[in-house]
């Protein structure tokens, strides 16, 4: 199997994690306190920009010689495929924002990919491994549910008004308003279905997150700093929820 460039970067990150620890900066956690951030987002919130600013902020507060804070978004799929020695062609069957459940069923029936639950299980295993290594920012994929009981992981939800999200998609992707609105709706519905189907959770439940940020009101740099400070201070593992 050919290894995509994205996977090579991920393996480089993993190799960095295996290096001996350096001496911690005063007032900061030592290297072994592996920290991570998961980001759930509405489409068009500017999550990628915030994640990139967050990685730079956290890296600036890391101990000397620490591995780079690495963002896993689309490249997470490539990492899963490499982890489990799956063919690269399966990447197109693993979108988080796929809306039509019937597509998954038909693809499985015709043998185009393994059962969806198998792919989800393998994705979850990779997410857990990355979070155990630390220094990762994972966007979507139910990572906040997978790591809900893991120490030192901050779970964030980014939200924004529909109008602002449409404007962002129009500006960043040069889309017409109607197309931007349609893509946002499709991605939001797909992500909601993904979490509900595979984890039986409501993506909009605020109790699934340590922090929710309205990106209409909070600029990306400020949002990154808020999340970064919380990640550096650490958060307790929440008590089990009862029904």
pLDDT tens digits, 13-56: 444 444 444 444 444 444 445 789 999 999 999 999 999 999 99
Is there a domain that residue 81 lies in? yes
CATH at residue 207 = 3.40.50.300
Residue by residue, what is the 3-state secondary structure of 22-67? CCCCCCCCCCCCCCEEEEEECCCCCHHHHHHHHHHHHHHCCCCCCC
- Which pLDDT belongs to residue 66? 80
Q: What is the pLDDT of residues 89-107, one digit of tens each?
A: 444 444 554 545 545 544 4
Number of domains the chain is built from: 1
- How many CB atoms are located within 10 Å of the residue 229 CB? 13
Is there a domain that residue 131 lies in? yes
Residue 112: name the closest of 83, 91, 82, 84 by CA: 91
Is there a domain that residue 85 lies in? yes
The DSSP symbol for 90 reads G
What is the extent of the structural domain holding 204?
A: 36-233
Q: Are 190 and 97 in contact (CB under 8 A)?
A: yes
- Which pLDDT belongs to residue 59? 92
Is there a domain that residue 188 lies in? yes
Q: Are 68 and 14 in contact (CB under 8 A)?
A: no
Is there a domain that residue 207 lies in? yes
Task: Report the distance separating Cα 50 and Cα 237, nearest Å.
Answer: 24
Is there a domain that residue 210 lies in? yes
Is there a domain that residue 24 lies in? no
Is there a domain that residue 62 lies in? yes
Q: Are 32 and 21 in contact (CB under 8 A)?
A: yes
Task: For the chain, give the percent of residues with pLDDT over 90.
Answer: 42
Q: Are 155 and 40 in contact (CB under 8 A)?
A: yes
Q: What is the pLDDT of residues 106-159, one digit of tens each?
A: 444 444 444 556 677 777 888 888 888 888 999 988 999 999 988 889 999 999
């Amino acid at each position: 199997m050919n290894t995509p460039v994205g996977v090579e970067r991920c393996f480089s990150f993993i190799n960095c994690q295996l290096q001996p620890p350096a001496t911690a900066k005063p007032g900061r956690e030592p290297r072994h306190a592996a920290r991570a951030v998961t980001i759930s987002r509405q489409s068009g919130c500017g999550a990628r920009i915030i994640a990139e600013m967050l990685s730079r902020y956290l890296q600036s507060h890391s101990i000397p010689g620490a591995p780079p804070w690495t963002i896993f978004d689309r490249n997470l799929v490539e990492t899963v495929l490499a982890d489990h020695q799956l063919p690269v062609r399966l990447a197109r069957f693993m979108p988080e924002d796929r809306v039509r459940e019937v597509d998954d069923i038909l693809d499985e029936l015709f043998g185009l990919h393994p059962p969806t639950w198998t792919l989800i299980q393998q994705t979850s295993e990779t997410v857990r491994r990355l979070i155990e290594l630390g220094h990762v920012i994972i966007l979507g994929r139910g990572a906040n549910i997978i790591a809900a009981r893991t120490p030192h992981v901050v779970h964030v939800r980014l939200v924004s008004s529909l109008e602002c999200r449409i404007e962002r998609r129009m500006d960043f992707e040069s889309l017409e308003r109607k197309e931007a609105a349609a893509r946002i709706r499709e991605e939001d519905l797909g992500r909601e279905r993904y979490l509900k189907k595979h984890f039986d959770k409501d993506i909009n439940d605020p109790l699934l997150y340590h922090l929710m940020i309205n990106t209409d009101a909070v600029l990306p740099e400020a949002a990154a700093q808020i999340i970064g400070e919380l990640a550096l201070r650490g958060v307790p593992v929440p008590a089990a929820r009862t029904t």
